[in-house]
């Protein structure tokens, strides 16, 4: 099976995309796919570079068994467009920014995450000015989406296998 490098991108890389990265890594581990999936996250903006994720993202992750506390924010760079196979934007504004800065020789597949995994909503909403419920909603959207993404990339091989 193919190895995939997957980058999650939001605006600040402190709320949504760190959770996407952490959840995908966690789910890949649970399915025994760690050797096949590499993941990272970045922001279209660089205001929070070097910072740990937002405390509310760390907290919801911890409550759900996903430790993102060691991750540090960074800004997306031109090399990401060739280093990663897939780049997932959290919302349509992020997608516009990513496409705008993509180098002409970009080899990555660039998608709006919720469009790719299929969902009721197109955007994973920015929870920065919200409350804990907004972070919970972000977690749930990303968790369901990452399960679907892994099931699409690595279909279960045994009947009844959990995805």
Binding site for ligand 4NP (CB under 6 A): 10-16, 47, 126, 128
Give least dist CB 129 to ligand 4NP, A. 8
Residue with tokens 């759900």: 64
123 is an active site residue? no
Q: Which is nearer to ligand 4NP, 13 or 71 (CB)?
A: 13
What are the Cα distances from residue 73, in Å, to 88, 89, 128, 141? Answer: 16, 16, 15, 21
11 versus 146: smaller Cβ distance to ligand 4NP: 11
Q: Would you call 74 a catalytic residue per the annotation?
A: no
Mark whether 126 is an active-site residue: yes
Strand-by-strand arrangement of the 86-89 sheet: 37-43, 4-10, 86-89, 109-112
Closest CB 161 distance from ligand 4NP, rounded Å: 32
Q: How many CB atoms lie within 10 A of CB 2?
A: 7
Active centre residues (catalytic): 10, 16, 126
């Amino acid at each position: 099976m193919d190895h995939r490098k997957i980058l999650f991108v939001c605006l600040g890389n402190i709320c949504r995309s760190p959770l996407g990265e952490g959840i995908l890594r966690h789910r890949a581990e649970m399915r025994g796919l760690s050797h096949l999936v590499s993941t990272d996250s970045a922001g279209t903006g660089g205001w929070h570079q070097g910072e740990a994720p937002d405390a509310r993202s760390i907290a919801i992750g911890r409550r759900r068994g996903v430790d993102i506390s060691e991750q540090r924010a960074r800004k997306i760079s031109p090399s990401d467009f060739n280093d990663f196979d897939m780049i997932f934007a959290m919302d349509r504004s992020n997608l516009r920014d990513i496409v705008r800065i993509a180098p002409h020789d970009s080899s990555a597949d660039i998608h709006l995450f919720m469009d790719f995994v299929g969902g009721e909503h197109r955007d994973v909403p920015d929870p920065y000015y919200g409350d804990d419920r907004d972070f919970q909603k972000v977690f749930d959207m990303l968790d369901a989406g990452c399960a679907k993404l892994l099931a699409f990339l690595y279909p279960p091989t045994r009947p009844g296998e959990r995805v």
